[in-house]
Amino acid sequence: MDFKALLATSKTIAVVGMSNRPDRPSFEVASVLQDGGFRIIPVNPQYAGTLILGEPCVASLADIKEPVDIVDCFRRSEDMLSVAVDAAAMSPLPKVLWMQSGVANDDAAKVARDAGMDVVQNKCLETTFLSLR
């Protein structure tokens, strides 16, 4: 996958499992991506209806009513199948289902690929973004 082209043509990133705590990896990664010019949509039922990084948090991917380019996931590997199913139901379809470092699920990857998305597993989106700047 051409990460440089992906990031150059992406504008909106849904961050599944986003925390409102600055010490959490999801917050740090989203903050760096937001500072880099991306629109962040926090996704976490625990914080739905609140603002994280100045953006309204939604409970699920189904609650997002605008196009998303990348679904960036901070969930346990065993939880990824349901996230992939939700991402595959989005319209328009996101370009990529991205599983952060330490997260991989081949069944989720198959669902996403079968729906037409590219898949990245066990790779940090922040590190990838910063390495291409």
The pLDDT-based confidence of 121 (bands split at 50, 70, 90) is very high
3-class DSSP state for residue 108? helix
pLDDT at 57 over 90: yes
Domains and their CATH numbers in the chain: 3-131 (3.40.50.720)
pLDDT at 96 over 90: yes
- Model pTM score: 0.97
Question: How do strand 70-73 and strand 96-99 relate by DSSP bridges?
Answer: parallel
pLDDT in tens, 19-41: 999 999 999 999 999 999 999 99
